[in-house]
């Protein structure tokens, strides 16, 4: 600790506001309103912009007339379940009883500096929780968290250095969200709503040019805008439009474009499962030579990409997994606890028994399958069963029906969305590198071991 830094407790520079008891789940009048309902699951160690559930005013008032919303710019921390998850609130929110609001005294502390103090001391905060059956973090204990506090100007500089890194990570997250949404929109238009086909059908009925109609449906452009396109782009769009049929026909999945086929996933894609080598056998885990993944690796992922894994296995461990080392480009879907985490691997990897893996090289490419799974996740979950926890087996997954538009249309789709997914993967890689930099700087800056004057802020 630097010589002029003070040793303080969190209660010396912040006040706490408890969350409220959850409204009765059986009353629909309390939910799906305009008030954001902050729960521990919404805290992601970064900005909290939205929540997974919302309340009506009636639902909020059920907490009592004295209930107060958590304010924008304040911090929140989870007090039960996964203790110590933190968030910086970007809007007014109603906190439930699993979260604590932290109101930093702005005169003496930088809010974001305190956020990083909490982030750095996550393990200590977890130990402050008490309880025999279920541990809870109480404000009286949280307030005892001790840390080193420099003068306000130094806090501001430290927060700016670390904040600039997190802001870049957040920007990448938002860009990746947009890229993924763009790819999903194309998939839905082509393979769920069949917009190019329906546009052709309507044009034929009206005596218009069906190719031109499909071009408008695919691009979202008007005729005038199509005429202004560079010739090479116009011709490429016309070639894409020509790939779609101009009629629909009945199938087991309802009406689909004429000439497209309905098959089972198992007929079109190689499906694999995994295993966990005996964790008590050290020879299966050391030396750590090959990436090995469980769904835990995907639990905090904000993009469907797997770059690395928490654990690795040895050659001996790999020999205990029948599916072996799966190639880069494999689509992984968690099959239990919970069902539905998705990622395309960017590394060769072995998997545990909590996955269904869809290997590249089949008639349906992984990117198509990724978006098909996203669009059909409720149906996938509907095939699950289990007494302890719900699980979808490979046996139940393989017979699921899927539309196969054929290799020519699939090739054009992959050609269209691959650049989007490539940018997304690069954004995830950059964010991973930035997070490592932040995690390296964080303890050194907060202890005074490293001066902010010695750190270059990333552009």
pLDDT of residue 168: 94
What confidence tens digit (pLDDT) does each residue in 40-68 have? Answer: 989 988 899 999 899 999 999 988 877 89
pLDDT single digits (tens) 120-149: 999 999 999 998 778 899 999 999 999 999
Residue 3 or 408, more confident: 408
From the list 18, 15, 59, the residue with the least C-alpha distance to 37 is 59
> Two tokens at 131?
């309880």
Alpha-carbon distance 413 to 372, whole Å? 13
Indicate whether 388 pLDDT > 80. Answer: no
Given a cut of 80, is residue 448 above it in pLDDT? yes
- CB atoms inside a 10 Å sphere around CB 192: 14
Give the mean pLDDT of 401-423: 97
Structure-token pair, residue 410: 């699939």
Report residue 273 as tokens: 């499962």
Q: Which of 49-53, 68-72, 326-330, 362-366 has the lowest mean pLDDT?
A: 49-53
pLDDT in tens, 64-103: 877 899 999 999 999 998 899 999 999 999 999 999 999 9
Q: Does domain 266-404 have CATH number 3.90.220.20?
A: yes
CB-CB contact of 411 with 240 (8 Å): no
What pLDDT, on a 0 to 100 scale, did the predictor assign at position 457? 65
Where are the strands (E) in 214-278, listed by range? 248-251, 254-257, 261-264, 271-272
CATH architecture of 6-149: Alpha-Beta Complex (3.90)
- What is the layout of strands, in order, in the sheet containing 350-351? 311-313, 290-293, 350-351
What tokens appear for 128 in the block?
């402050």
Q: How far apart are CA 95 and CA 101, in angstroms?
A: 8
Instruction: State the average pLDDT over residues 296-323.
Output: 94
In whole angstroms, what is the distance from residue 442 CA to residue 85 CA?
17
**pLDDT one-digit tens code per residue, 390-409:** 899 999 999 999 999 999 99
Triad 54, 58, 62: Cα angle to 5°: 95
Assign 302 a pLDDT band (cuts: 50, 70, 90).
Answer: confident
What pLDDT was estimated at residue 459?
59
For residues 339-364, average pLDDT? 97
Burial class (CB in 10 A: 0-12, 13-18, 19+), 371: buried
In 75-213 the beta strands, taken as DSSP E runs, fall at 75-78, 86-89, 93-95, 99-104, 146-149
pLDDT of residue 458: 59
User: Both tokens of residue 350?
Assistant: 């072995």
27 falls in which pLDDT band (50, 70, 90)? confident
What is the structure's pLDDT at 82? 87
């Amino acid at each position: 600790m630097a010589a002029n830094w003070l040793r303080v407790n969190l209660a010396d520079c912040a006040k706490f506001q408890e969350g409220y008891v959850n409204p009765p789940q059986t009353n629909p009048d309390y939910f799906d309103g305009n008030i954001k309902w902050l729960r521990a699951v919404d805290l992601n160690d970064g900005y909290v912009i939205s929540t997974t559930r919302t309340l009506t005013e009636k639902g909020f008032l059920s907490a009592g007339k004295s209930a107060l919303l958590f304010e924008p710019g304040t911090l929140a921390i989870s007090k039960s379940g996964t203790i110590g998850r933190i968030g910086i609130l970007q809007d007014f929110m109603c906190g439930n009883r699993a979260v604590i609001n932290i109101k930093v005294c702005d005169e003496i502390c930088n809010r974001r500096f305190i956020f990083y103090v909490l982030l750095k001391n996550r393990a200590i905060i977890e130990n402050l929780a008490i309880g025999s059956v279920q541990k809870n973090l109480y404000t009286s204990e949280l307030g005892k968290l001790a840390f080193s506090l420099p003068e306000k100007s130094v806090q501001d500089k430290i927060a700016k250095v670390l904040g600039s890194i997190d802001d870049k990570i957040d920007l990448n997250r938002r860009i990746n969200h947009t890229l993924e949404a763009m790819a999903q929109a194309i998939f839905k238009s082509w393979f769920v709503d069949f917009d190019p086909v329906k546009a052709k059908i309507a044009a034929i009925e009206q005596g218009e040019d069906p190719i031109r109609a499909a071009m408008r449906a695919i691009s979202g452009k008007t005729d005038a805008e199509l005429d202004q396109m560079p010739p090479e782009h116009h011709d490429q769009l016309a070639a894409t439009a020509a790939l779609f049929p101009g009629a629909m026909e009945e199938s087991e999945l309802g009406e689909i474009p004429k000439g497209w086929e309905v098959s089972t996933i198992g007929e079109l894609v190689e499906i694999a499962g995994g295993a966990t080598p005996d964790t008590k056998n050290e020879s299966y885990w050391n030396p750590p030579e090959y990436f090995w993944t469980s769904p835990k690796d995907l639990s905090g992922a904000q993009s469907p990409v797997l770059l690395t894994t928490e654990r690795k296995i040895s050659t001996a461990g790999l020999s205990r997994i029948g599916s072996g080392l799966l190639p880069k480009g494999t689509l992984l879907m968690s099959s239990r606890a919970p069902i539905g985490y998705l990622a395309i691997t960017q590394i060769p990897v072995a998997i545990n028994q909590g996955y269904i893996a869809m290997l590249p090289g089949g008639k349906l490419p992984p990117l198509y399958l990724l978006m098909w799974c996203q669009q059909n996740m409720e149906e996938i979950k509907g095939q699950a069963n289990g007494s302890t926890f719900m699980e979808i087996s490979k046996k139940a997954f393989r017979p699921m029906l899927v539309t196969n538009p054929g290799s020519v249309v699939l090739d054009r789709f992959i050609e269209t969305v691959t650049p989007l997914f490539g940018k997304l993967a690069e954004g995830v890689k950059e964010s991973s590198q930035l997070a490592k930099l932040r995690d390296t700087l964080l303890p050194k800056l907060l202890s005074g071991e490293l001066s902010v004057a010695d750190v270059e802020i990333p552009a």
